[in-house]
Structure formats: C-alpha cells, structure tokens
Structure 1
Amino acid sequence: MTALTASSSHAAPGSRQGTAARRRRVGRSAERWLLFTAVLVLAALVLLPVLIILFTAFKPAAEINAYPPTLLPGTWTLDNFTRIFHDLPFGRLFLNSMLFAGGVTLFALVFDSLAAYALARLDFRGNRVLLIVIVASLMIPFQATLIPVYQLVAQLGWVNTFAGLIIPRAADAFGIFFLRQFFISLPRDLDNAARIDGGGEFRIFRSIVLPNAVPAMLTLAIFTFVNNWNDLLWPLVFTTSPEMGTITSGLTLLTGPSGIIPYGTMMAGALIAVLPLAVMFLIMQRRFIESVATTGLK
C-alpha cells in the first residue's frame, strides 16, 4: 500500500508537468495562428487598392459603372489599355517620366553624396552651422518655394524643358542628411590610411566611402525615384505642353463625353505606371533591407 501511494505521488507531478507543457505548446501555436491571421488581414488591407486598380483596368465600362460594384471582372477586356495609348501620347509620357525621375535621381545621388561627404568627413569652419541650415530647410513647405522657383525657371527659359524639371531638384536636403548619417558610421581609420598612402579627398570619397555606402545610395535612389515618378504638382507647374508631361500629369487630361472620367482607362494607365516601381523594388529589395539593417550602426 505504501509503495502504491509513493508511485502515485511520483506520477502526479509528471502528469501535471506534461499537461502544462502541452498547454504551452497549444498557447504558442494559437499565438502563431493569430499573428499569421493578423498579418494576412493587414496585407489584404494594404493590397486592396492595388487589386482594385488591377481588376478595374481589365473591366469594360459597363461593369465599372454597375451597382453594386464587384471586385473581379465578369468580362476581361484589354480595351482600356488600347484606349490609353489612343487618347494620350502615353509612350511619350512614360519616357518623360523615366527621364525626369531618372535624371533627378542621378543628379541627386552625385550632389547629395558630395555634400554629405564634406559634412561628415571634413572639418571646416561653419560645418555645424551649414548642417543646421540644411536640416532646417526640411521644415519649409515645398509649396512655399514653388512660385519663386517657377519665376527663376521661367526667366531662364526652362519651362517645358527637362532642364526646368530636373535641375531645380538636383539636390535634396533629406538626401544630404541621410547620407551624412551613414558616412559618419564608417570608420575614419580608412580615411587616415588612404591619406598616409597619398590619397586625396576625392580619391577617398570615390574609392573608400562610396563602395561602403552602396546600400545607403540604393535606398536613397529608390526614395528619390519613387517620389519624383509619383509627383503630380511639379510636372503640372513646369510643363504646359502635353508632349512634355509625365504619366501622373497626363492621366489628369483623361476625360470622356460630358466630362465623365474613364476610370477603366485611368486605372490601366496607373497600373502601367506602377510596374517600373515594382520591378525596381524587387531587384533592389535585398540591398534595401541591408541598408535599413545597417544604417546607424557604429
């Protein structure tokens, strides 16, 4: 009797521990499923506008204007894509957007990196004051400087030209500050070693700093390209000719009979406009994530 009592007393704690372990496993499994469900719901909310654009671009006009609205098209059609090239010089608008966004990105990377290198790696009088002025300029609304910049561009005769679209945006305060913060994280011993070997500042910048700042440069390139590709106000102000417009400004010219907006055609144009951005991000996403993970590390 005593042995049976002892054995049961030893079995009870083990069974309780096994039950507690099972409960913990069930709890962790439930937490994972809840997290997975929450991620799916958030992803669906984020992707819903993209899906609406995608499916609306392939709908005929009757289905777009039907009530109640439907997400999936009942009849798939390519008429909206045909019309976008018929109603607008869409190929020209696409090329203008590429030249505008690409040109601004290229110039911004060059000038922003040079200015950021000077602020991060060189000691000169007024360095701190200049940095404060650059950071303070981020607080000035873009619209506040639009009219003075337009007057200057008009006096130079750059309205309806790529020079007027690109040059005023050839440098950006955010890009300078962003790259400066990254350049500061690079060890200065590399600079000193290059100076001992007789390297000048431009050689240090080109051969040491830039190769180590590729993730940050690509991140800034993505931000700059996307912001300018999607910009509507700047091309509307500095171009008056449809031949010099961009995709965003060109889509505003779409009107149907009696001023009705052809939403199917507009969604087709928006879908085509999104594709270069999606492709660019897919190509650069590894570098982009690497930059987010390493920026700020000392």
Structure 2
Amino acid sequence: MSKRRVGARESNTIAYVVLTVGSVVMIFPFAWQLIMSLGTNADVISVPPSFWPSEFKPENYLNVFDRVPFLSQFWVSVGITVIRTVGQLVLCSMAGYAFARMYFPFKGVVLALILAILMVPPQVYLLPQYQIIQGLGWLNTVIGIAAPGIFSAFGTFMMRQFFMGLPPELEEAARLDGANQFQIFWKIMLPLAKPGLSALAIITVLWSWNDLLWPLIVATSAESMPLSAGIATLTSGRTITDYPMLLAAAMMAMAPVLILFLIMQRRVIDGVAFSGLK
C-alpha cells in the first residue's frame, strides 16, 4: 500500500508540473500583450525581445479612441453577437430536438446534409452570401453581418446529442398528461437543456465576437464595422504601425468575452461533456 501511495504521489506531482508548465506557456502571450500595451513602439519591436517596457504609457489606451470609433464598433459587435447567439439558441435547439426526438421522412438524409456543411470551408460561401446580402440592401448594417451566422450545423449537432441524452420517459409522461409536441419541447425538454444551451451560447459569443473575414467584406465604413474588423484596419495603409496602441485595442476588445467566459466556463464544460462531444 505504501508503494502504491508513493507511486500515486509521484504521478500527481508529474501531472501538476506538466499542467503548471502548460499554463505558463498559455498565459505568457496574454501577459506579454498586457505589459507591452503600456510600453513604447521600440519596446515591442526590439531585438532581442523586451519583456518589460522602458517607459510606461497608459495613454496608449486613450489613443485607441482617437484612431477608431471604438464605442460605435463595440456596440456593433454587441449587436452582431446578440443576434447570432439568440438565433442559434432558438433555431439550433429546435432543430436539434427534431432530429433527436421526432420522426419524419428522410431525417437521416437531412441530418447528413447539415453535417456535411461542417466539411466545407466557410470561404466557399462568401460570394453567394455577399450577393444575397447585397440584394437585400443589408451592406454596412448589423443585420447584414449577423444574418449568415444565426444558424449553425455544429450547434444543431450539439443540441441533438444533448437531447438524445435525456430520458425518453419524460416525454412519455408528458404525453400521458395531454401535452402536445411543442409543449413537451418548450416546458419539459428545453429547461433540462440549460447546460447545453449555455455551452452553445458561449461558443457562439466567442465565435461571433472574433469573426473577422465576413465583417471586412460586408462592412466598408468604420462606424459599421465590429471591433475585430476595426482593429484590423489599424495596420492597413500605414508605414509605421503603433504596436502598443494595437495591443491596447486588442486588450479592450477581448476583455468583455474573457470576463464572460470566466463566469460561465463551468457551464461550458458541463454542457459539452454532457452532450457527448469530445
């Protein structure tokens, strides 16, 4: 027994060391970005790299507001994220429940077609999506940027896996009480799917907030761009890039979703684990 305990302690020590090293490696770029956002341009581009600024310049954060309409772009990002998140929660939960619990012709074929979307690079859809948005007159609008992301094949599959993990006896009991299909979904199954909905919500928020390529194509004016696209324009058309200001802008842009993820990370892990996704 003593040898087993010693072996278990050694294995735990090795695991802690590996996890600590991995955590340091992952946190280091974020810490360096935070520190260098308060430095000078020479500190950022110095060779060998500098890990501490020679001069602290907190005004780098204020300069961001002079170079880009940060507040306007922030609210554009919020609008896009809210529309996409609400859309995916509604549509993906309904579609996932239908594929998991309902029976209709060609259900397997339709599900296979939806999952096939995951195998196609999103760049393939850019031209037809742009033509549709242009035809609707939605260029340089929040709805035009958000519209292609209100449905997700991944979200549908994730919610399907979650609903398949719920006991079917709940539906049978509800039918005996006279509930119809929609009442079963809305009052019985959907409240039980809160962990899966939370995981889908935070994944959608992170994806929508960081989306770059599509907003750059649809939005051409600075005021109609989200933060991801607005920050990208700070490096275009300039001979000298102000890297500390760019790092400061990136820090302010990632702060809301970072805080949200820290608050809801347990729900994300529980939802993904329960749905059976690896």
TM-score by length of 2: 0.93
Can you list the C-alpha shifts for 1:117-155, whole angstroms capped at 9, x where unaligned? 111111111211111111112111111111011011101
2:23 pairs, out of 34, 39, 43, with 43
- In 1: Cα distance, 2:228 partner to 2:269 partner: 28
Residues 134 and 36 of structure 1: CA distance in aligned 2, closer, same or farther (over 3 Å): same
Residue 62 of structure 1 deviates from its aligned partner by: 3.4
Can you list the C-alpha shifts for 1:246-272, whole angstroms capped at 9, x where unaligned? 111111221499521111011001111
Give the aligned residue type for 2:252. I
Counterpart position of 2:95:
115
Give the aligned residue type for 1:295. S
Can you list the C-alpha shifts for 1:177-234, whole angstroms capped at 9, x where unaligned? 1101111111122112112222122211111111111001110111111011111101
Larger CA Rg, structure 1 vs 2: 1
Aligned residues: 277
Contact 1:60 1:79 in 2 (8 A): no
- In 2: Cα distance, 1:75 partner to 1:27 partner: 50
1:90 pairs, out of 70, 88, 98, with 70
Counterpart position of 1:254:
234
The reply on whether 1:166 has 2:146 as its aligned counterpart is yes
Q: 3-state SS of the aligned residue for 1:91? A: helix
Q: Which moved more, 1:192-201 or 1:172-181?
A: 192-201
Q: 3-state SS of the aligned residue for 1:253? A: helix
The reply on whether 1:285 has 2:265 as its aligned counterpart is yes
Counterpart position of 1:9:
none
Counterpart position of 2:208:
228
Give the aligned residue type for 1:182. F
1:243 pairs, out of 223, 239, 243, with 223
What percent of counterpart residues are identical? Answer: 38
Q: 3-state SS of the aligned residue for 2:137? A: coil
1:57 pairs, out of 37, 41, 64, with 37
Residue 34 of structure 1 deviates from its aligned partner by: 2.8
1:143 pairs, out of 123, 132, 136, with 123
Contact 2:159 2:275 in 1 (8 A): no
Alignment of 1:146-157 (within 5 A): 146-157=126-137
The reply on whether 1:209 has 2:189 as its aligned counterpart is yes
Q: 3-state SS of the aligned residue for 2:185? A: helix
Unaligned runs of 5+ in 1: 1-19
TM-score by length of 1: 0.87
- In 2: Cα distance, 1:255 partner to 1:145 partner: 27
Unaligned runs of 5+ in 2: none
Give the aligned residue type for 1:119. F
